[in-house]
Amino acid sequence: MRKIVLAKSAGFCYGVRRAVELAEEKAAQGIPCVMLGPIIHNRDVIDRLAAQGLRVVDRPEQVPDGSAVIIRSHGESRAVHEHFAWRWIEVFDATCPNVTHIHQIVEEAELRGRQPVIVGTPDHPEVLAIAGWCKAPVVLSGEKDLEKWLESGENRNNLPLTFVSQTTSTQKIWENCVKKAKKLCTNAEFFDTICGATSKRQEEARQLAAQCGLMVVVGDRQSSNTKRLGEICRESCPEVLLIERAGDIELDRLPQADMVGITAGASTPAWIIKEVFDKMSEEILEMDKSFQEMLEESFKTLNNGDKVTGTVVAITPTEVQVELGIKYPGYIALTELSDDPTVKVEDIVKVGDEIESIVMQVSDRDCMVKLSKRRLDINKGWEEIEAARENETVVEGFVTEDNKGGVVVSVKGVRVFVPASQTGLPRETPMSALLKQKVRLVITEVNRARRRVVGSISRVTRAERAAAAEKVWAEIEDGKRYTGTVKSLTSYGAFVDIGGVDGMVHISELSWSRIKHPSEVVKVGDTVDVYVISADKEKKKISLGMKDHSQDPWTVFTTTYQVGDTANVRVVKLMTFGAFAEVVPGVDGLIHISQLADHRVEKPGDVVAEGDKVDVKITDVDMENKKISLSIRALLEPSYDEEGEEPSIEE
């Protein structure tokens, strides 16, 4: 043998380490306590805990009155928790957070009227615990079981299915089940709840096994996790040895191999791995340095301010839990994850991701390390802020505070003050209008010693607007269409920003209908489609239109009405000689004063008012001059007989 290599993720996972440390803590405190079932699948660890005074009981009824109980990392059913609550027994819950998350998923799924389906080894204690959080669980070991269950018709109520996976299943088994379910089921939902640390350990073991002539898998023979590692290694390596401890190794009987790989199940402590390594090193000439370094890492201590990299193993509503490869787990509170108040946790990290953070506190009492990604980002942010000031580059940030003097923008976690004069807001606009807005700015002053940074939003706005305006003037031409924003209104029209340049839409070009004020058609802030009527590049003036010229109002009128038709029209203007009324938008007709009523009218206002809707008869159309004569009187006078004689009064 020449070389030995250890898989980086070998040994205790976060959940197991957390459970063992909780048990050791309670033993050290001298609290009368028992463990319900082996806290993890490792006899050596259980024997060590027994030596500290923690014995194992098999059933909840065996927990003595007055004693506390430790729930193992695999978790227990809801009924077990209710049993202890009923007996007023104190519970120290060492259930892995990943497993607790699965409990919540299946419980909520059933409450929503769905059928929970658990993919995993049916008799595994962790699977039994998950099944104990719903009334009618279905446990399947793989895609063949799934197919048989679906064909059996046992889902008689045809409930929609919710799939979860337990870590005794491999990623391949899970993916095959998902693929099969998507073909055979409708409205199914899938939660890939295989622990990220487990998936990572299995993949590293697979890759290492492909390079080695011998793989040594260390772990308890009752551990499903360890058994899976052995199965995975056998797929790629000709010789695989499963052992529980160093004493199981017979050096003179080890197969010859140029390279030996070692991996260990999630329930294997570092001291057992070290014993295995020490014994094997007696026969191995070359040792991979990363192996020794990893063992040292598992025992090393951290100090506040240290930068660390770990693997995300669980995400809860309040924190992200990180495996650091040391004796304590790491926690990042959601408030310490990002300085961006709008960002979602899932957009930053997922279970299985590597994450870099900074140590805020190492608590030996609580057996944990408090971490912050946000503060690490802030430290990096200062470097980026200084570079942005030097290079005059534009940065982005969120407005987090406002006052009379200006606003505070968070850029890369660094507070940047923007004076009111540099916000770009009109004087009458309150600074609060920018709160929670994403803005672009340049850094104008940096004093890291005083933690002072000043920036300007308006400089960016002016520069971007100037660049946009230059582009508009270079490309503008009559008839070109733009999408713009209404900036202001006057009595004679509306000013529209078409991308750095304002153009005016005259009131007559806002609508085919007759209007008194632009506000009848648009309001400030509206997005409108406009076209260029004319552009004077020397005077920097642009005339815009909004009316749709693709449909001529006169054509609309002539194709809709003809002489003799009745129309409902709107009175738009009164004159001494009659009233003008809109027949269709953009086309008015005249109701002469003599045609306003069937009696003499002194002035039009005695009969109609602007805005009135009235029925009229179209009596004449001057096609050449586009003039229309309308009459109310023609609809009020009695009809004539076919010969045109007026009926007598007697009739």
* Rounded CA separation 193/171 (Å): 10
Domain 98-194 of CATH type 3.40.1010.20: yes
The active-site residue out of 90, 108, 110, 126 is 126
- Cβ distance 440 to 409 under 8 Å? no
Fold held by 14-93 = Rossmann fold (3.40.50)
Quick check: 346 and 329 in contact, CB under 8 A? no
Amino acid at residue number 149? W
**543: exposed, middle or buried (Cβ count in 10 Å: 0-12, 13-18, 19+):** middle
Strand-by-strand arrangement of the 189-191 sheet: 138-140, 115-119, 161-165, 189-191
Question: By 3-state DSSP, what share of the chain in percent is helix, strand and coil, each rounded to 5?
Answer: 30, 30, 40
List the structure tokens of 265: 């199940």
pLDDT at 239: 92
SS3 560: helix
* Token pair in block for residue 398: 């969120």
Give buried/exposed letters for 164-187 (b at 16+ CB in 10 A, else e): bbbbbbbeebbebbbebbeeebee
Integer Cα distance of 571 and 231 in angstroms: 89
Report CA-CA distances (Å) from 596 to 566, 570, 580, 582, 640.
15, 14, 11, 15, 20
The pLDDT value recorded for residue 631 is 94
Q: Is 632 left (phi over 0), alpha (psi -120 to 50) or beta?
A: alpha
Q: Which helix (H) or strand (E) covers residue 336, if one does? A: none
Fold of the CATH domain 553-636? OB fold (Dihydrolipoamide Acetyltransferase, E2P) (2.40.50)
The residues that bridge with 588 in the sheet, in sequence order, are 582
Judge whether 98-194 and 392-461 match in fold. Answer: no
Q: What is the pLDDT of residue 450?
A: 86
How far is 195 from 218, CA to CA, in rounded Å? 20
Instruction: State how far the Cα of 15 lies from the Cα of 273, in Å rounded to an integer.
Output: 18
Q: How many CB atoms lie within 10 A of CB 362?
A: 18
Domain 392-461 belongs in CATH node 3.60.15.10: no
**Do 244 and 41 contact (CB within 8 A), yes or no?**
no
Q: Which of 626, 622, 22, 2 is nearest to 288 (CA)?
A: 2
CB atoms within 10 A of CB 424: 19
Could you tell me how far CA 372 lies from the centroid of its own chain? Answer: 21
CATH superfamily of the 307-376 domain: Nucleic acid-binding proteins (2.40.50.140)
Give the pLDDT confidence score for residue 578 in this predicted structure.
Answer: 94
* Other CB atoms within 10 A of residue 283 CB: 13
Distances (CA, A) of 33 to 68, 99, 184, 258, 565: 5, 23, 49, 49, 98
Predicted pLDDT of residue 204: 87
427 φ/ψ angles, rounded to the nearest 5 degrees: -60, -40
Mean pLDDT by 10 residues, the chain (651 residues): 76 81 90 91 90 94 94 93 94 88 92 93 91 93 90 79 83 88 88 76 89 92 85 92 89 82 87 83 54 52 83 79 75 83 80 88 69 85 88 91 89 90 87 90 90 92 85 86 90 89 88 83 89 87 81 85 93 93 90 92 92 93 91 77 41 34
Picking from 17, 5, 26, 95, the residue whose alpha carbon sits closest to that of residue 326 is 17
476-545 has which CATH code?
A: 2.40.50.140
Q: CA distances (Å), 554 to each of 55, 97, 293, in order?
A: 98, 74, 88
Cβ(223)–Cβ(199) under 8 Å?
A: no
User: What is this structure's pTM?
Assistant: 0.49
Percent of the chain with pLDDT over 90: 38
The helix/strand/coil state of 422 is helix
Distance CA 359, CA 310 (A): 12
Q: Count of CB atoms within 10 A of residue 116's CB?
A: 25
User: For the chain, what is the largest distance between any 2 Cα atoms, rounded to a whole number of angstroms?
Assistant: 138
d(CA 119, CA 103): 13
24 assigned to active site: no
Report the distance separating Cα 150 and Cα 188, nearest Å: 13
Would you kindly state where each structural domain of the chain is located, as residue ranges? 14-93, 98-194, 307-376, 392-461, 476-545, 553-636
In degrees rounded to 5, what are phi and psi of residue 407?
-135, 160
Asked if 127 and 145 count as a contact pair (C-beta separation under 8 A), the reply is no
Q: What is the structure's pLDDT at 293?
A: 58
